[in-house]
Amino acid sequence: MTARLRLFPGSIHPDSIRSGTRLDRYRLQSRLGEGGFATVYSAYDQLERCHVAIKIPDARYVSNTQSMDDLRREVDIMASLEHPGVLPLHDARVIDGLFVMVFPLGIETLADRMMRRMSRATAMVMIYQMVDAVAYAHSHEVLHRDLKPENFILFDDNEIRLTDFGLARIEHGCYDDSASGTLGYIAPEQAMGRPAYHSDVFSLGLIIYRMLAGELPEYPFQPPLPGFNKLRRGVSRDFVALVRKAIDPVPSKRFRTAVAMHRALKKIAHPLSGKGDRERFRTSAKRQLNRAA
């Protein structure tokens, strides 16, 4: 379904939103999370008879003309991306005075999943999907600018999808001279208002590092990086080299785009060194490929 932004006046006050609130065909059930610009709820779609996630931007944010332009851009970008690794946007409109964006409801975020022990095989299945999704966005000239574990949503069987393109931009090879992103995952040049594709590569590399090492190195990096020995455990030297290249502080030494990173990842014959992990990864990856076909 292609999402379209439709505006019409309404009557629900943002402070009155709670469990049981009905927004047209959607009945809100619980609050899933809250950020600086929006709140996400689980809801029940009474027409399609399925559970969904609904993102409602803060009313003060929506009331700003520039912010509405940003929302329109987010809707346009997400509606243009069709890929198994990108969370699809099912609906986007103003209902009873509230702007809502509707998505499939996942199980949890990658940030939630990383709070529990994760096997190397499971992590690698997710990593391949994540790199593929960002590479797809880059191939369509979309620069995400806010890659972090909270913006990857997990579904059954370790399926993972990229979401939240609120800071995304269509890349035209020029800088917007404004800082954006999330502390801890933002590339140094992006923090200085010079984001580019290799900035997304840096953020993605740090997510992968944390998934495998259990720790997030802080910029400026000082060797030895925290958790580096754990990162190397059970993965090939080629894969470790790929991660190190992705998080190089010097932009020109990184992969230029996630497309190049994805290409290099596919050339690694055995990303996992353990025979059992390799077999589990191969089996899981085959299921992902069959589902995407």
Domain spans, the chain: 14-104, 108-290
Indicate the pLDDT class of residue 12, thresholds 50, 70 and 90. Answer: low
For 70-102, what is each residue's pLDDT tens digit? 888 999 999 999 999 999 999 999 898 888 999
**Is residue 292 predicted with pLDDT exceeding 80?**
no
Give the separation between CA 197 and CA 171, rounded to whole angstroms. Answer: 8
Contacts of 251 (CB under 8 A, 6+ apart): 187, 189, 196, 198, 199, 202
- In this structure, what token pair is assigned to residue 14? 């943002």
Domain at 108-290: CATH code: 1.10.510.10
pTM above 0.85, yes or no: yes
Q: Pick the range with the lowest mean pLDDT from 110-124, 130-144, 173-187.
A: 173-187
Q: Residue 94 and residue 104: Cα distance in Å, rounded?
A: 18
Residue 168 backbone zone (phi > 0: left; psi -120 to 50: alpha; other: beta): beta
Instruction: Return the pLDDT at 2.
Output: 44
Q: What is the CATH number of domain 14-104?
A: 3.30.200.20
- The tens digit of pLDDT for each residue in 235-280 reads 999 999 999 999 999 999 999 999 999 999 999 999 998 888 888 8
Residue 198 CA to residue 275 CA, distance in Å, equals 33
Spatial distance between the Cα atoms of 227 and 165, rounded to a whole number of angstroms:
30
Domains 14-104 and 108-290 are alike in CATH topology: no
Mean pLDDT of 149-160: 96
pLDDT(59) > 80: no
Catalytic residues: 146
- Give the span between the Cα atoms of 136 and 95, in whole angstroms: 32
Closest by alpha carbon to 110, among 207, 37, 214?
Answer: 207
Residues in CB range of 10: below 8 A, 6 or more apart: 94, 95, 96, 97, 98
User: Most confidently modeled of 6-15, 28-37, 281-290?
Assistant: 28-37
90-99, 153-162, 177-186: the lowest-pLDDT one: 177-186
pLDDT at 174 > cutoff 70: no
Q: Give the residue numbers of the binding site for ATP.
A: 55
The mean per-residue pLDDT over the stretch 190-205 comes to 96
pLDDT-derived band of residue 155, with 50, 70 and 90 as boundaries?
very high
